[in-house]
Structure 1
Amino acid sequence: MKITIAAVGKLKERYLKEGISEYTKRLSRFADMELIEVEDEHAPDTLSPAQEAQVKQREAERLLKRVKEGSYIILLDLAGEQTTSEGLASKLESVMLTGNSHITFIIGGSLGLDQSLVSAASYRICLSKMTFPHQLARLILLEQTYRAFKIMKNETYHK
């Protein structure tokens, strides 16, 4: 099994890097892990709607270029399905049981998602209706993915 997380922007905060490193290490027991960061577009606060759309399109193109053919794409999307940790485990397990050996999670940039990402996704998930910095979403996603594998293996995990 291979899990890829493709995200817009580079992590800068040490505490996030440390958390991501920890959960990447933990997940390596269950799957080959790959973290991909693509460059984010410069986006001042004064962008017109057309300029915002261009930024989202450019970031989407960068992300989609990095997705391996045949990978099952799970898009983090505020309009996606909200689920429990058990629900995510069930979804990942069903994807694996249907013969998909590579799952790619995509995290868009701070302006949101281009329609091309929505169209390319096999499944869309919403981590929460609350707003998180997209860098923090990486850490939350890794923790929940690790938790999902622990659930699938019937292993205990802290509460």
Structure 2
Amino acid sequence: MNIRIICIGKLKEKYWQDASNEYIKRLKPFCNIEIVELKEYKITKNPSPKDEEIVKIKEGEAILSKIKDGDYVISLEILGKQISSEMMAEKLIGITNQGYSDFDFVIGGNLGLSDEVSKRANFKLSFSLMTFPHQMMRIILLEQIYRSFMINKGTSYHK
């Protein structure tokens, strides 16, 4: 299984980098994992809705350029479907059983995802109706992917 996390922006603080590296290390026995960090487009202090849309479109184009035709795409969206950790573990198995081996998880920037990225997603996943910093969301996502492998393996990590 190949997992790619495509995200806008970099992890700037060392504590986020350390957490990310820890989960990547834990995931290596189970999958190939790659983090693709894309440019975060700057926006003025008081942007117009049109300015915000332009940024989302530019970031969306960058995201879509990293997604291959045969990839299964899971976008993280506030209005996506909320599922439990067990359901996430089952979903990964189910998608693999459908013949997919390449997964792209997509985390947008501060303004969210463009409509084009959302339309490309095979599944829209929501961790909460709340908004989280995208740096924190990356760590939460990595942990939940790791937790899914642990659930499917039957370990006590999930307990």
* Common fold: TM-score over 0.5: yes
Question: 1:20 maps to which residue?
Answer: 20
Structure 1 residue 45, shift from structure 2 partner: 2.8
1:111 aligns with 2:108: no
Q: For 1:137, give the aligned amino acid.
A: M
1:98 aligns with 2:120: no
Contact 2:150/2:158, CA 8 A, preserved across alignment: no
Q: For 2:116, give the aligned amino acid.
A: S
Structure 1's consecutive aligned runs of 4 or more residues displaced over 4 angstroms after TM superposition are none
For residues 68 and 118 of structure 2, the distance between their equivalents in structure 1, rounded to whole angstroms, comes to: 17
Q: Which runs of 5+ in 1 are unaligned?
A: none
For residues 113 and 158 of structure 2, the distance between their equivalents in structure 1, rounded to whole angstroms, comes to: 33
For residues 100 and 30 of structure 1, the distance between their equivalents in structure 2, rounded to whole angstroms, comes to: 15
**Structure 2 counterpart SS, 1:58:** helix
Q: For 2:127, give the aligned amino acid.
A: L
**Structure 1 counterpart SS, 2:156:** coil
1:134 aligns with 2:134: yes
For residues 61 and 90 of structure 1, the distance between their equivalents in structure 2, rounded to whole angstroms, comes to: 31
1:37-83 C-alpha deviation (Å, 9 max, x unpaired): 00010012311001100000000000110112211000000010001
CA RMSD between the two structures: 0.9
Moved more, 43-52 or 78-87: 43-52
**Structure 1 counterpart SS, 2:81:** strand
For residues 13 and 87 of structure 1, the distance between their equivalents in structure 2, rounded to whole angstroms, comes to: 31
Aligned pairs, number: 159
1:6 aligns with 2:20: no
Structure 1 residue 158, shift from structure 2 partner: 5.3
1:31 aligns with 2:31: yes
Moved more, 50-59 or 124-133: 124-133
**Structure 2 counterpart SS, 1:73:** strand
Q: For 2:47, give the aligned amino acid.
A: L
What TM-score does the superposition give when structure 2 sets the normalisation length? 0.97
> Once the two structures are aligned, what percentage of the paired residues are identical?
43
For residues 133 and 43 of structure 1, the distance between their equivalents in structure 2, rounded to whole angstroms, comes to: 17
Q: For 2:58, give the aligned amino acid.
A: R
What TM-score does the superposition give when structure 1 sets the normalisation length? 0.97
